[in-house]
A and B are shown apart, each in its own frame.
Chain A
Amino acid sequence: GENVEQHPSTLSVQEGDSAVIKCTYSDSASNYFPWYKQELGKGPQLIIDIRSNVGEKKDQRIAVTLNKTAKHFSLHITETQPEDSAVYFCAASFGNEKLTFGTGTRLTIIP
Chain B
Amino acid sequence: DTEVTQTPKHLVMGMTNKKSLKCEQHMGHRAMYWYKQKAKKPPELMFVYSYEKLSINESVPSRFSPECPNSSLLNLHLHALQPEDSALYLCASSQDRIGIREQFFGPGTRLTVL
- A residues apposed to B, CB below 8 Å: 31-32, 34, 36, 41-46, 49, 51, 89, 95-99, 101-104
A96 to B94, Cβ gap below 8 A? yes
B-side residues, CB < 8 A to A, are 4, 6, 31, 40-43, 45, 48, 56, 90, 94, 96-108
Shortest Cβ gap from A38 to chain B (Å): 9
- List B contacts of A49 (CB < 8 A): 102
Task: List A contacts of B48 (CB < 8 A).
Answer: 98
Number of A-B contacts (CB under 8 A): 51
Q: Tell me if A96 and B98 are in contact (CB < 8 A).
A: yes
With A43-B4, A102-B42 already in contact, 6 other A-B pairs whose C-beta atoms are closer than 8 Å:
A31-B100, A34-B103, A89-B42, A96-B101, A101-B42, A103-B41
